[in-house]
Structure 1
Amino acid sequence: MTKNDFKLAWRKLLKNKGFTLLNIIGLTLGFTGFILSYQYINRETSYDKWNPHYKDIYQIGLEAEGAFTDETSPSLAPLLKQNLPDIVYAGRKIVYNYGSYPLFGEKTVLIKNAALIDSSAARIFQIENATGPLYKNKDQKDATMVKSHIAEQLFKKEDLNFDNPHSIPALSLQIGMKETIYGTIKKQGLSMIDYDLLFIREPQDLFANNNPFLYQTYIQVRPGTDITKLTNRINALYQKEIAPKDKIRSSSYAKGRIYLDPLSNLHLRPKTGSNTAYIITWIIGILSVLILLLASANFANMIMAQADQRIKELALKKILGSSRWAIVRQLVLEVFILTFSAAILSFVALALTGNILQKWFNDDLKGYILRSETIVQLAIAVLLTTVLSAIYPAIVLSGFKSVNLLKGGLTSILKKGTFRNALLTFQISMAILFISGMLVIRAQLNYMQQADKGFEPAQVVNFKGVGMYYDNKIDGSYQQLKRR
């Protein structure tokens, strides 16, 4: 029976090629917007989910009088590891905030984002060397690495296997400082630890009261750990061992309290930062659903607009013994075929052209479209769109008596349909809303581009890596830079 229903539905759609094509185009656009939206949402919510200990990792911060900071004493991490058995690893990170970090190899490379982490943080975030073990011998103290595309610029091709570490000048050729590179960073999924240059070494003078640096502290706890109790124990240790120190004692955080921020929150809604990215993902998700609702409403209205053309067909089916359920089933199947076809077209089109979106999203979203979660989301969207588009026309068109259908048609009755009028109102309202939003955004972009900035961008000169030209003298100058 299902096979016959499918054949009938398919023949009906082929018979009305214009109607079928128009609906497929509308639904394809709707599914394209939906897939793109959820590709972005899936990307933003995927940070560190590949880490097997994702749910057991927390960032430690301080809260005082409603203010939050993720900067903590460098002595906090080893103190916690020594005293709290529920903590598997306690690691630290500090970002290099002094501009570009020049490295001088086969080419001069200005590293724009660099950070220092200790070995425990490397274990927490699954940082690995793509060319071998992170620590290749027991005497190795550091494990500094760069990303592969940086290594390709710094070293010869035959040196990229890093059988031995490579020492190259850093910061300034005049100073004579060198940096030893031990390998390339193994490519992982999206992570909060994502830097072109990673210094992996243990911070010095951890327990010195005059240590000038503050670190971000991360912990990995044992599965099933009571986080509330652990937080209280960390607070007690902090107040006893760290708060009395000179650097902390003079700050408002001396009386602050420790909080634990789950790794799942750090990218979209950290306590120390903005939750704008989190709000944006919600807005995009809502807009994608609205786009599908508009496509569904448009589809339902187009089916109802063709109702008069199907009156005799439906009446004859009822007279010949077809049940109401059989008619509903055929109409729903027709809608499903169109919806499924549109979804497949959208999926294939984006799979073939997804990488062109890289310049807008700063990432190749093509990699996310082939994931199982995208397939599941699209399947759910197809089913919901089918139900929303088909349920109203199917109930209305299958509910009339055969005699009434043969006598006068549905035109006069459909014009009085409250629900259909509501669908039209919804479509028009959403269309006005989208058009108004686009006009407002365009006006704002034009204002940002044309408004007076207070300076002339063409007259601003930005020197990158100016330290490279320092002559390493007490009364030194940047004359070499001027000559260049």
Structure 2
Amino acid sequence: MLQNYFKVALRNILKYKFFSAINILGMTIGITACLLIILYIADEISYDKFHSRAERIYQVGLHGKISGQDIRTASTCPPMASTLVAEIPEVEAATRISPYWGKPSVKYNGKAFTEEKVIFADSNFFQFFSFKLLDGDIATALKEPNTVVVTEATAKKYFGNEQAMGKLLVIGNDNRSYKVTGIAANTPGNSHFSFNMLISASSNEGLKSTVWLNNYLYSYFLLRENAHVEQVNEKFKFLVEKYVGPEAERFMGISLKQMRSQGGEYGYYSTKLTDIHLHSTSKDDIEAGGNVMYIYFFAAIGLFIIVIACINFMNLSTARSAGRAKEVGLRKTLGSLRGQMVGQFLAESTVYSFAAVIFALVACYFLLPHFNLLSGKQLGMATLVSPLFISGLVTLVIIVGLVAGSYPAFYLTSFNAVEVLKGKVRAGMKSKGVRSFLVVFQFALSIFLIIFTLVVYQQIQYMQEKNMGIDKSNVLILQNTGRLGVNKEAFRNALAQQSGVTKLSYTNNTFPGVNSTTVFKEAGSEQDHIMGIYYADYDHMDVMKFEMKEGRYFSKEFPSDSMGIILNEAAAKEFGYQNPVGEEILYKDNGTTERLKVVGVVKNFNFESFKSQVRPLSIRLRKNENNLLIRYEGSAQSLISTIERLWRDNSSNEPFEYTFLDQEFDQLFRVEQRMGTIFSIFSALAIFIASLGLFALAAFTSEQRTKEIGIRKAMGATVFSLTVLLSREFTKLVLIAFVPAALTGWFISNHWLSGFVYRIEVSPWIIVLSGVTAVLIAWITVCYQSIKAAIANPVHSLRYE
């Protein structure tokens, strides 16, 4: 029986080649897009699940609140991990990781590189996490000072085919040697942090600190079996009272009780390891996480595309129902049961679905490298050939086959055999209610996708072009100029003489962001205020091109500026100053209190993400920091060649690396850019599939009305009037689809934009443009078939049938 079903299904597919090709093409595109989306989502939700004890590992976060500023950060203090193990029974083990400050130079055998992703790690790192150590002992690889574990790719980079174990690498500006004691497998792409090198924590004196208010590293703990994380969270309060309280009073001059009476807070919380990538509420994690909202968006668009492809099949099947009605009547007359005929139609749609899945798998294989470039991932086909996925794919074939073939199967088999054979069903079958509803649904989805895609595009353009309060263009950044040693100033002076270089500024800050956030007090007040702070020289304002609102910037004419401070508008508001210039602020640094005088207020500029308000920021004067900002004019490429030559003249085999300020800021919304590009492509595919179905439906309608067209043309109807006649019905359907799509698009777009403090408004013109675009797409799609039918010779039309 089944063999007969599929044999007849194959004959019908071959009989109606045009409509079969449309169906298979639409479903292939839809399933291909869906497979790519599934791969993307599967990777996103798999983060950190490769760790054998992932369900019991948690990251410690710090929650603070001072002067109304709420802070949730993943940064914690050096003594946190050991204290958790010693004083909380529910904690089985703990470990720490601390990124190397900046990008250190690494040298071996005459080769020098600036290395990224270098991390200090505790000795139990490989026992705690499930990163693979290919060579070395997991218990001792990071135990001794001045030891380093490198990844397989990093070992290849420095040592080629040589044996890496036991070799010495010179790391950092202090030219300290580290012995290679382990080779780790390359970090999996679905880890919330990655590394190229791990340096033993015992090599870093700072990690031996016992200060609880010094938060700059990441702490993780392993929960004991049968214990509950809520028990640990509750005992965090005890640690705060025992350790943080005395330090707050000693260093900040305020007790926790006083802090809380002022509306402040200080405490810790836990984030499950597998939640860090998509569900973390912490800022400042070691690497940028994902966004669970985008998972929902991509899942929705994948579902939309499959639904649109299924609708195409259902539309064409119901449109061709008149031609298949006699087949149903004859089958019933010859004794076929309705269930058997339902099985026949479902088998036919399943054959379409199966063929589309095969083509989709092939297309996915060839498109995956391009999709990886777009998404910034390293997805592989291995997921698609796993037993779990294959079983899911078989389920998808069956579901798509059933959904796509359900309506034709039950609709066509419901006719009375006698009436079908008498030809009475044809008139009744002209009812287009269901088909019209499906077309409306298709184009409602398409218009919604157009609206949302335009909103995403405009928001990204807005973020790229918005006046941030600084001029980020034509600024080149050289980090770690301290590598030049005694030649650092000679290099700067030589660079200042080059044509095209307009201004130079040393700073300790790495933009975007601010490297340090700390507590200040207004002189004569016990109220704490939290601000970001960085150091820069006299020419910093000329390089960044921010504007002063009040007062002045640092000047060589005022020696007292060494004890001066610049605030931004948000900081002046934080302190409640009406006339900030001349006010005094207390700043505690390394146990000593400095009294700083406000010399100026700079207008707010965006130094962080567009998703948050500009927060209080201060700048202090320091002339000789490590990061050099170079404002230039003219060709960047020729300037880079000049800078590299001067660097080589003043360095002894130090790596030369640079970035551009605008590129660094663009990284802040790189995720949104990628999401927008992928969303645009998938939206275009969804619209194309909908248009494909409309094209086939218009072709079928024209075919059904061939005789009518011939008569109208013989009676004097013009090509234009016939085209309007045939297109009018589809245009009405698209206009009907516009209303629900516009409302949904406006609501979803505003919900997405609510995640940005600095955002566009959804313009009515975006909604109108989307509707006009959909109507134009429908007209172009339908008009081809309409004009083709209208210009046909009426003699042939009237001889039809």
TM-score range, shorter chain: 0.7 to 0.9
- Using the TM superposition, give the Cα deviation of residue 385 of structure 1 relative to its aligned residue in structure 2, in angstroms: 1.7
Partners of 1:89 and 1:120 within 8 A in 2: no
- Using the TM superposition, give the Cα deviation of residue 198 of structure 1 relative to its aligned residue in structure 2, in angstroms: 1.9
Go from structure 1 to structure 2 and tell me whether the alpha carbon gap of 1:409 and 1:134 turns closer, same or farther (over 3 Å shift).
farther
- Looking at structure 2, the residues matched to 210 and 423 of structure 1 have their Cα atoms a distance apart, in angstroms, of 63
- Give the letter aligned to residue 279 of structure 2: R
- Looking at structure 1, the residues matched to 195 and 321 of structure 2 have their Cα atoms a distance apart, in angstroms, of 60
Partners of 1:109 and 1:150 within 8 A in 2: no
Matched residue, 2:122: 118
Q: 1:358 aligns with which of 365, 372, 396?
A: 372
Matched residue, 2:269: 259
Partners of 2:91 and 2:232 within 8 A in 1: no
Partners of 2:75 and 2:215 within 8 A in 1: no
Matched residue, 1:460: 475
Partners of 2:372 and 2:379 within 8 A in 1: yes
- Give the letter aligned to residue 310 of structure 2: S
Instruction: Map residues 40-189 of structure 1 onto 2, 5 A cutoff.
Output: 40-65=40-65, 67-96=71-100, 98-106=101-109, 107-135=111-139, 140-141=144-145, 143-160=147-164, 162=165, 164=166, 166-172=167-173, 175-189=174-188
Go from structure 1 to structure 2 and tell me whether the alpha carbon gap of 1:216 and 1:230 turns closer, same or farther (over 3 Å shift).
same
Instruction: Map residues 258-407 of structure 1 onto 2, 5 A cutoff.
Output: 258-273=268-283, 277-367=291-381, 368-407=383-422
Instruction: Map residues 441-480 of structure 1 onto 2, 5 A cutoff.
Output: 441=456, 455=471, 457=473, 459-471=474-486
Go from structure 1 to structure 2 and tell me whether the alpha carbon gap of 1:249 and 1:385 turns closer, same or farther (over 3 Å shift).
farther
Partners of 1:143 and 1:200 within 8 A in 2: yes
Moved more, 433-442 or 51-60: 433-442
Go from structure 1 to structure 2 and tell me whether the alpha carbon gap of 1:248 and 1:130 turns closer, same or farther (over 3 Å shift).
farther
Instruction: Map residues 420-459 of structure 1 onto 2, 5 A cutoff.
Output: 420-441=435-456, 455=471, 457=473, 459=474
Partners of 1:62 and 1:258 within 8 A in 2: yes
What is the TM-score when the length of structure 1 is the normalising length?
0.88
- Using the TM superposition, give the Cα deviation of residue 363 of structure 1 relative to its aligned residue in structure 2, in angstroms: 2.4
What is the TM-score when the length of structure 2 is the normalising length?
0.55
- Looking at structure 2, the residues matched to 240 and 100 of structure 1 have their Cα atoms a distance apart, in angstroms, of 36
- Give the letter aligned to residue 102 of structure 2: G
- Looking at structure 2, the residues matched to 180 and 450 of structure 1 have their Cα atoms a distance apart, in angstroms, of 48
Go from structure 1 to structure 2 and tell me whether the alpha carbon gap of 1:78 and 1:137 turns closer, same or farther (over 3 Å shift).
closer
Moved more, 283-292 or 137-146: 137-146
From the two aligned structures, give the one with the greater strand fraction: 2
- Using the TM superposition, give the Cα deviation of residue 119 of structure 1 relative to its aligned residue in structure 2, in angstroms: 2.4
Go from structure 1 to structure 2 and tell me whether the alpha carbon gap of 1:409 and 1:463 turns closer, same or farther (over 3 Å shift).
farther
- Structure 1, residues 76-100: CA drift from partner, whole Å, max 9, x if none? 211111123332211112223x432
- Looking at structure 2, the residues matched to 36 and 225 of structure 1 have their Cα atoms a distance apart, in angstroms, of 39
- Looking at structure 1, the residues matched to 208 and 407 of structure 2 have their Cα atoms a distance apart, in angstroms, of 69
- Looking at structure 2, the residues matched to 208 and 449 of structure 1 have their Cα atoms a distance apart, in angstroms, of 43
1:419 correspondence with 2:434: yes
- Give the letter aligned to residue 398 of structure 1: T
- Looking at structure 2, the residues matched to 148 and 41 of structure 1 have their Cα atoms a distance apart, in angstroms, of 28
Q: Which stretches in structure 2 are left out of the alignment for 5+ residues?
A: 495-645, 651-801
Go from structure 1 to structure 2 and tell me whether the alpha carbon gap of 1:482 and 1:445 turns closer, same or farther (over 3 Å shift).
same
Go from structure 1 to structure 2 and tell me whether the alpha carbon gap of 1:385 and 1:142 turns closer, same or farther (over 3 Å shift).
farther
- Structure 1, residues 316-341: CA drift from partner, whole Å, max 9, x if none? 00001111111111000100111111
- Structure 1, residues 29-85: CA drift from partner, whole Å, max 9, x if none? 000110111111111111111111111111112324553222222112111111233
- Looking at structure 2, the residues matched to 265 and 304 of structure 1 have their Cα atoms a distance apart, in angstroms, of 47
Moved more, 106-115 or 291-300: 106-115
Partners of 2:123 and 2:139 within 8 A in 1: no
Go from structure 1 to structure 2 and tell me whether the alpha carbon gap of 1:411 and 1:33 turns closer, same or farther (over 3 Å shift).
farther
Go from structure 1 to structure 2 and tell me whether the alpha carbon gap of 1:72 and 1:308 turns closer, same or farther (over 3 Å shift).
same
- Looking at structure 1, the residues matched to 125 and 400 of structure 2 have their Cα atoms a distance apart, in angstroms, of 46
Q: Which stretches in structure 1 are left out of the alignment for 5+ residues?
A: none
Q: Structure with the greater relative contact order (CA < 8 A, sep ≥ 6): 1 or 2? A: 1
Matched residue, 2:647: 481
- Structure 1, residues 97-130: CA drift from partner, whole Å, max 9, x if none? x432110124222112222221234422223432
- Using the TM superposition, give the Cα deviation of residue 135 of structure 1 relative to its aligned residue in structure 2, in angstroms: 4.8
Go from structure 1 to structure 2 and tell me whether the alpha carbon gap of 1:135 and 1:27 turns closer, same or farther (over 3 Å shift).
same
CA RMSD of aligned residues (A): 3.1
- Using the TM superposition, give the Cα deviation of residue 370 of structure 1 relative to its aligned residue in structure 2, in angstroms: 3.2
Moved more, 444-453 or 270-279: 444-453
- Structure 1, residues 435-454: CA drift from partner, whole Å, max 9, x if none? 44445555666667778886
Partners of 2:51 and 2:131 within 8 A in 1: no
- Looking at structure 1, the residues matched to 268 and 465 of structure 2 have their Cα atoms a distance apart, in angstroms, of 46
Q: Provide the secondary structure at the position in 2 that maps to 1:214.
A: coil
- Looking at structure 2, the residues matched to 359 and 327 of structure 1 have their Cα atoms a distance apart, in angstroms, of 47
- Structure 1, residues 332-383: CA drift from partner, whole Å, max 9, x if none? 0100111111012111221244223232122232244334444344333323
- Give the letter aligned to residue 79 of structure 1: T
Go from structure 1 to structure 2 and tell me whether the alpha carbon gap of 1:369 and 1:452 turns closer, same or farther (over 3 Å shift).
farther
Partners of 1:242 and 1:248 within 8 A in 2: no
- Looking at structure 2, the residues matched to 169 and 275 of structure 1 have their Cα atoms a distance apart, in angstroms, of 32
Go from structure 1 to structure 2 and tell me whether the alpha carbon gap of 1:449 and 1:207 turns closer, same or farther (over 3 Å shift).
closer
- Give the letter aligned to residue 104 of structure 1: K
Q: Provide the secondary structure at the position in 2 that maps to 1:85.
A: coil
- Structure 1, residues 365-406: CA drift from partner, whole Å, max 9, x if none? 224433444434433332322222111111110101012212
Go from structure 1 to structure 2 and tell me whether the alpha carbon gap of 1:305 and 1:393 turns closer, same or farther (over 3 Å shift).
same
Matched residue, 2:243: 241
Q: Provide the secondary structure at the position in 2 that maps to 1:416.
A: coil
- Structure 1, residues 214-243: CA drift from partner, whole Å, max 9, x if none? 322111112221222232123323322344
Bigger radius of gyration among the two:
2
- Using the TM superposition, give the Cα deviation of residue 477 of structure 1 relative to its aligned residue in structure 2, in angstroms: 6.7
1:227 correspondence with 2:241: no
Matched residue, 2:499: none
Q: Provide the secondary structure at the position in 2 that maps to 1:199.
A: strand
Go from structure 1 to structure 2 and tell me whether the alpha carbon gap of 1:207 and 1:446 turns closer, same or farther (over 3 Å shift).
closer
Partners of 2:95 and 2:219 within 8 A in 1: yes
Partners of 1:357 and 1:364 within 8 A in 2: no
* Equivalences, count: 476
Go from structure 1 to structure 2 and tell me whether the alpha carbon gap of 1:50 and 1:257 turns closer, same or farther (over 3 Å shift).
same
- Looking at structure 2, the residues matched to 280 and 402 of structure 1 have their Cα atoms a distance apart, in angstroms, of 51
- Looking at structure 2, the residues matched to 288 and 243 of structure 1 have their Cα atoms a distance apart, in angstroms, of 52
- Looking at structure 2, the residues matched to 272 and 371 of structure 1 have their Cα atoms a distance apart, in angstroms, of 34
- Structure 1, residues 293-323: CA drift from partner, whole Å, max 9, x if none? 1111111001111111112111000001111
Go from structure 1 to structure 2 and tell me whether the alpha carbon gap of 1:410 and 1:448 turns closer, same or farther (over 3 Å shift).
farther
